[in-house]
Structure 1
Amino acid sequence: MSQEPQGPPGGGWHPPVPPVQPVPPPAPPAGAPLPPPAPGWGPSPYGAPATPAYAAVRPGVVPLRPLAVGEILDGAVQTARAHPRVVLGLSAVAVSVGALVGLVANTTVGAGAAPLFRDSTVPLTDDQATSALGHLTAATGISALVGVLVHVVLTGMLVGVLGRAVLGRPAPAGEVWREVRPRLLPLLGMTLLLALVSVLAVAVVVVVIAVAAVAVAPVAGALLAVPLLAGLVVLLAWLWTATGVAAPALVLEKQGVRGALRRSVRLVRGSFWRVLGIQLLVQIGASVAGGILGGVFSVAAFVVSRASDGSLYDVGPQLLVAVGSVVSGTLTAPIVACSVGLLYVDLRMRREGLDLELARAAA
């Protein structure tokens, strides 16, 4: 996928190309008014953190200065509180669409996997087991694909809302959609590209271990598995962290896929462990909260399936599972997306003095 051309330096979040060895403008005399703010959200030509006069400026959901971890999480919650109809309403609609498609896939295609979940003294034949696994794989694949599409649309829209919420500006759903819609296809391509790279990395490691175990000896495969699996974990952790803010860069700066990935790597460089820790904290917190909310409905689905002597893939249990996914996704998805967006803003404020430019624009 080729990188999309950037727009003019003054538009949106486009980062204009800085001149070679820029000369900082002379400081204004004491008491003189500040120069007018430069348009857009590009990197500050000053490259310096905000001055003390801007330290307390907070036109939107976060103060315009480098953020602490708690402020990033609080800013994500404040974004949902400031724009509840757009953030929570959009999340509910998107997650509901994904849950509905998953419900249909599981109760139709996935129904063929029911023998795998029934207690029976008669073992399945090879053909029956193969057919059941095929239905299970197909239903899971359909749900996963729709989940990716829902994630892309929801992430793009929520990041668009956050870009306005940082400056305390209104975020009508129609305007946000018009701004974000051209970015959804590149965002989908980048999401699929990162997923493909991760899957290929896992597949290569598994194949190498299997070949070593079969061609040499099982012990050789076991010995080779330890360093390869450790290396795989390191690689995937680096990939996840280094590209962690690529989505906000792609949406807000209108970058292409390659440009957004390079932008993320540059912003994360020097803050790898901090970014990794914040991402883990957000994901673990969202997973625990979502697991608790969705787990209640999953337990209810299991009880219903056992009471009716049916399968988890029957309509009743799957309806309960779908309701649980809607409830958990509506509450956790905005926190994750907005936290990633605020992490991107924080990195730019720390590395490029974006807080100065945002404070001047807000003034």
Structure 2
Amino acid sequence: MAQHWTHRGGGWLPPRSPRPGVIPLRPLGPRDILDGTLATLGRYGGRLLGALLLGQLGGLLLLAAVAGAATLASLTRTAGSRVFVYTLAPALALFLLFCRALATALAAALLRPAVLGRPVTTLGLLRAAAPRIPAVSGARLLALLAAAGPGAAALGAGLPPLALLPLAPVALWLWVLFALAPTAAGYEGLGPVAALRRSARLVRGAWWRTFAITVPAGALALGAAYAVPLRFGVLGALFAPALLLTVPQPASGLLYMDRLLRSEPGITAG
């Protein structure tokens, strides 16, 4: 390996890892992931947010059509409030799932250009992410079912909430174990089940590290979503939900890349 001379105290040091994009191409420390997340948002945040809002527009139009149909149906004497329960509420839940999957798929599509320092466009990012949305949605749903399913089933069986406390650590452990599954589905094009297996392999031996990076990323998103409306008023409030979806995704993507570089040292982003 080539070496270079340093003037700080003298001596030979190994060369620095190449950094064509937002992170150095080596296993990452928490500081690298934080710096890379901020660099990604600074360099690509506008295009990422634009692609997210543009992709949500189609979902909003469909949701508006469903809401209109539900409103018309509710005017009849036979439908009543059940129209909201059986039509509009599921449509809203699907829309929220779509938005979350879209944000993850966009971040996964952005990961390779961001790591390699390549330019992207809003429409190009959206075109790259669109085919990955079903697999990302499936991986997210399966991860949610694995973590929350046993507790939900116990509640449905009539057990009191306090009786579910022993399940809380298991749910948290599973949530972190499968935290990288949506990104794996988007980045590697894996199916939902294969993405969960991939996440479990990558997180194994690094559960606490994954937890310690994932939770602050969510807290950063909450802070941004709270601060922007205070600073920009109504306009900021309109963008707050998009910030909640957008801000944590680069951190999850870089954590995923870190786990790839550690578990498969020969892998490259290209």
TM over 0.5: yes
Match of 2:175 in 1: 240
The correspondence of residues 136-215 of structure 1 with structure 2, limited to 5 A, is 139-198=88-147, 200-210=149-159
Give me the whole-angstrom Cα distance separating, in 2, the residues matched to 1:77 and 1:87.
Answer: 13
Match of 1:334 in 2: 246
Out of 10, 27, 32, the position equivalent to 1:71 is 32
Q: Residue type matched to 1:153 in 2?
A: L
Structure with bigger helix share is 2
Give me the whole-angstrom Cα distance separating, in 2, the residues matched to 1:232 and 1:78.
Answer: 38
Out of 42, 50, 54, the position equivalent to 1:93 is 54
- Rg comparison, structure with higher value: 1
**What is the deviation of 1:109?**
5.6
Give me the whole-angstrom Cα distance separating, in 2, the residues matched to 1:95 and 1:177.
Answer: 11
What value does the CA root-mean-square deviation take over the aligned residues? Answer: 3.7
Instruction: Decide whether the 8 Å contact of 2:98 with 2:133 is kept in 1.
Output: no
Give me the whole-angstrom Cα distance separating, in 2, the residues matched to 1:209 and 1:80.
Answer: 45
CA 1:135–1:181 in 2, change beyond 3 Å: closer, same or farther?
Answer: closer
Deviations 1:214-234 (A, max 9, x none): xxxxxxx5xxx53x4223322
Q: Residue type matched to 1:56 in 2?
A: S
Deviations 1:73-93 (A, max 9, x none): 331221232234421211332
1:267 counterpart SS class: helix
**Deviation larger for 265-274 or 332-341:** 332-341
**What is the deviation of 1:349?**
2.0
| Structure 2 segments unaligned to the other structure (5+ residues) | 3-12, 72-79
**What is the deviation of 1:163?**
1.5
Give me the whole-angstrom Cα distance separating, in 2, the residues matched to 1:340 and 1:76.
Answer: 9
CA 1:288–1:80 in 2, change beyond 3 Å: closer, same or farther?
Answer: closer
Instruction: Decide whether the 8 Å contact of 1:105 with 1:143 is kept in 2.
Output: no
| Structure 1 segments unaligned to the other structure (5+ residues) | 1-29, 32-51, 111-130, 211-220, 301-319
Give me the whole-angstrom Cα distance separating, in 1, the residues matched to 2:85 and 2:189.
Answer: 39
**What is the deviation of 1:347?**
1.3
**Deviation larger for 66-75 or 339-348:** 66-75
Match of 1:25 in 2: none
2:247 counterpart SS class: helix
**What is the deviation of 1:281?**
1.1
Give me the whole-angstrom Cα distance separating, in 1, the residues matched to 2:222 and 2:62.
Answer: 22
CA 1:160–1:62 in 2, change beyond 3 Å: closer, same or farther?
Answer: same
CA 1:192–1:162 in 2, change beyond 3 Å: closer, same or farther?
Answer: same
Instruction: Decide whether the 8 Å contact of 2:146 with 2:174 is kept in 1.
Output: no
Give me the whole-angstrom Cα distance separating, in 2, the residues matched to 1:185 and 1:289.
Answer: 28
The correspondence of residues 290-301 of structure 1 with structure 2, limited to 5 A, is 290-293=225-228
1:83 counterpart SS class: helix
CA 1:169–1:54 in 2, change beyond 3 Å: closer, same or farther?
Answer: farther
Instruction: Decide whether the 8 Å contact of 1:76 with 1:334 is kept in 2.
Output: no
Deviations 1:172-215 (A, max 9, x none): 345444544432222222223333445532322213444xxxxx
CA 1:199–1:358 in 2, change beyond 3 Å: closer, same or farther?
Answer: closer
Are residues 1:274 and 2:192 paired?
no
CA 1:79–1:251 in 2, change beyond 3 Å: closer, same or farther?
Answer: same
Q: Residue type matched to 2:110 in 1?
A: V
Q: Identity of paired residues, percent?
A: 28
Deviations 1:90-146 (A, max 9, x none): 133245556676778789968xxxxxxxxxxxxxxxxxxxx6687478644432211
CA 1:70–1:108 in 2, change beyond 3 Å: closer, same or farther?
Answer: farther
CA 1:325–1:86 in 2, change beyond 3 Å: closer, same or farther?
Answer: same
Give me the whole-angstrom Cα distance separating, in 1, the residues matched to 2:16 and 2:268.
Answer: 12
Instruction: Decide whether the 8 Å contact of 1:95 with 1:330 is kept in 2.
Output: no
Are residues 1:259 and 2:208 paired?
no
2:250 counterpart SS class: helix
TM-score (norm 2): 0.76
Instruction: Decide whether the 8 Å contact of 2:21 with 2:115 is kept in 1.
Output: yes
Instruction: Decide whether the 8 Å contact of 2:110 with 2:125 is kept in 1.
Output: yes
The correspondence of residues 77-116 of structure 1 with structure 2, limited to 5 A, is 77-95=38-56
Q: Residue type matched to 1:283 in 2?
A: G
Higher RCO, 1 or 2 (CA under 8 Å, sep at least 6)? Answer: 1
Instruction: Decide whether the 8 Å contact of 2:147 with 2:172 is kept in 1.
Output: no
Give me the whole-angstrom Cα distance separating, in 1, the residues matched to 2:166 and 2:230.
Answer: 33
Match of 1:57 in 2: 18
